[in-house]
């Protein structure tokens, strides 16, 4: 097993400001590889793709292995990978909550945070989410898929098209298939942080982008507004015709927003 797999880093590409990319619950780094071409085109970042413990190519943690332990693990990984260098983060769903947490732990060392489908509250009971809605259904497409793949796709898709399925198959499904279910069960028992970032009062002044799907029934689009006081430079974008996999549903809109954020991070880093 190579060092990348040992320490949780699955891929490093490019040169520039270190950018740590952290995926969400039950998937792996491949869900964020959908952004790699866009990020590479900016010429701004060294992209560092991480698999969280028990997901993708990273072994599960021993012991409690809940969200507090994963946060500590990620903090150590970033220290090993980035040292004292300024860095930025992209977080997807659970990864966005971890990015908020790392922003508080690393403070002025963080040059920017972008969040896809931001998770503000781990507890489902605290979230404000819209009802599940599928905007475009394709029963013929679903009927032609293996049953388990179709079930995974139906859980998240709001636009059931061949192109959307192909993006899901390439970027989301591999991580879903690779997940350690025992590790997820342990995580579910400690799916909290002792103090959530949204409950703190300190401010992080770097560029912050929050991209929310208008039809995201998992994390919604209302809760991220509660983070605005913490991030004075925050931009919140509610993306139409998009669900929880916002960057797979509307790749062009997300690409434009991520490119603008990357330029803002570059300017902030030299200011």
Tokens of 251: 């790749």
CA distance readout (Å), 127 to 38, 120, 133, 224, 246: 31, 8, 17, 10, 18
253 sits in which H/E element: helix 251-269
**pTM of full prediction above 0.85:** yes
Residue 46: count other Cβ atoms within 10 Å of its Cβ: 18
pLDDT tens track of the chain, all 271 residues?
Answer: 334 444 899 999 999 999 999 999 999 999 999 999 999 999 999 999 999 999 999 999 998 899 999 999 999 999 999 999 999 999 999 999 999 999 999 999 999 999 999 999 999 999 999 999 999 999 999 999 999 999 999 999 999 999 999 999 999 999 999 999 999 999 999 999 999 999 999 999 999 999 999 999 999 999 999 999 999 999 999 999 999 999 999 999 999 999 999 999 999 999 9
CA distance readout (Å), 254 to 63, 169, 229, 240, 247: 38, 19, 23, 11, 6
Contact 96, 193 (CB under 8 A): no
Q: Distance from first CA to last CA of the chain, Å, rounded?
A: 41
Q: Which fold has domain 3-129+179-269?
A: Rossmann fold (3.40.50)
Residue 244: count other Cβ atoms within 10 Å of its Cβ: 25
Distance, CA of 71 to CA of 211 (rounded, Å): 22
Residue 177: count other Cβ atoms within 10 Å of its Cβ: 12
- Name the DSSP class of 1: -
Beta strands in 192-271 (DSSP E): 208-213, 234-239
H-state helical runs in 146-249:
147-156, 162-171, 173-178, 181-189, 246-249
């Amino acid at each position: 097993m190579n060092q990348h797999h040992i320490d949780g880093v699955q891929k490093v590409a490019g040169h520039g400001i270190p950018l740590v990319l952290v995926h969400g619950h039950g998937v792996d780094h491949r869900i964020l590889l959908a952004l790699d071409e866009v990020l590479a085109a900016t010429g701004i970042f060294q992209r560092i793709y991480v698999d969280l413990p028990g997901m993708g190519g990273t072994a599960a943690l021993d012991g409690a292995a809940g969200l507090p332990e994963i946060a500590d693990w990620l903090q150590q990984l970033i220290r090993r990978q980035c040292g004292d260098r300024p860095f930025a983060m992209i977080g997807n769903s659970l990864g966005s909550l971890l990015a908020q947490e790392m922003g508080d732990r690393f403070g002025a060392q963080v040059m920017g945070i972008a969040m896809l489908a931001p998770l503000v509250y781990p507890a489902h009971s605290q979230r404000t989410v819209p009802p599940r809605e599928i905007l475009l259904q394709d029963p013929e497409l679903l009927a032609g898929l293996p049953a388990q793949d179709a079930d995974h796709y139906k859980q998240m898709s709001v636009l059931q098209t061949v192109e959307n399925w192909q993006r899901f198959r390439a970027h989301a499904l591999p991580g879903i298939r690779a997940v350690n279910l025992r590790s997820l069960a342990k995580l579910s028992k400690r799916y909290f942080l002792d103090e959530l970032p949204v409950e703190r009062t300190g401010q992080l002044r770097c560029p912050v982008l929050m991209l929310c799907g208008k039809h995201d029934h998992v994390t919604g689009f209302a809760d991220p507004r509660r983070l605005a006081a913490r991030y004075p430079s925050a931009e919140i974008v509610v993306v139409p015709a998009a669900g929880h996999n916002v960057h797979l549903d509307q790749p062009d809109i997300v690409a434009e927003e991520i490119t603008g954020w990357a330029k803002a991070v570059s300017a902030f880093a030299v200011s």
